[in-house]
Amino acid sequence: MSVDAATVRRIAHLARIAVGDDEVPHLQGELNAMLAFVEQLSEVNVEGVEPMTSVTPMQMKKRPDVVNDGEIADDIVANAPATEGHFFLVPKVVE
């Protein structure tokens, strides 16, 4: 499989990465080189094989449903580019 220019733009938008028209041909070439490389997986017989979900056999760990962290709002917003009090500031989302 290979991707065309329109697909490159669609993927870029899904990935939330702005891509200029001048960058599309180059990205298309690179993505297609990667897709050509992974194409060889189609020759593997995976009939009846379970997809891997955990590389080490382990039971999903559970912990008591209690509050064990928090009250660190200052820490949470400490690195934010724009804040007001303990809120993150973003451009207007709802009209």
Partner 1 sequence: MTDLTSLTLAEARKGLAQKSFTSLELTDAHLSAIEAARVLNAFVLETPEQARAMARAADGKIASGEGGPLAGIPLGIKDLFATRGVRTTACSKILGNFVPTYESTVTSQLWRDGAVMLGKLNNDEFAMGSSNETSCFGPVGNPWRREGSNATLVPGGSSGGSASAVAALLCMGATATDTGGSIRQPAAFTATVGIKPTYGRCSRWGIVAFASSLDQAGPIARSVRDAAMLLRSMAGHDPKDTTSVDIAVPDYEAAIGRSVKGMKIGIPREYRLDGMPAEIEKLWSEGAAWLEAAGAELVEVSLPHTKYALPAYYIVAPAEASSNLARYDGVRYGLREQGRNIIEMYENTRAEGFGAEVKRRVMIGTYVLSAGYYDAYYLRAQKVRTLIKKDFEDCFAKGVNAILTPATPSAAFGIGEKGGADPVEMYLNDIFTVTVNMAGLPGIAVPAGKDAQGLPLGLQLIGRPFDEETLFSLGEVIEEAAGRFTPVRWW
**Residues of the shown chain interacting with partner 1 in the complex, contacts defined by CB under 8 A:** 1, 3, 7-8, 11-19, 27, 30-31, 33-35, 37-42, 44, 46, 49-56, 58, 60-61, 63, 72, 75-76, 78-82, 88, 90-93
Q: Which residues pair with 78 in a beta bridge?
A: none
Work out how close the CB of 28 gets to partner 1 at its nearest, in angstroms, rounded to a whole number.
Answer: 10
CB 46 within 8 A of CB 8: no
Work out how close the CB of 94 gets to partner 1 at its nearest, in angstroms, rounded to a whole number.
Answer: 10
Work out how close the CB of 84 gets to partner 1 at its nearest, in angstroms, rounded to a whole number.
Answer: 13
Q: How far apart are CA 29 and CA 26, in angstroms?
A: 5
SS (H, E, C) 28-45: HHHHHHHHHHHHHHHHCC
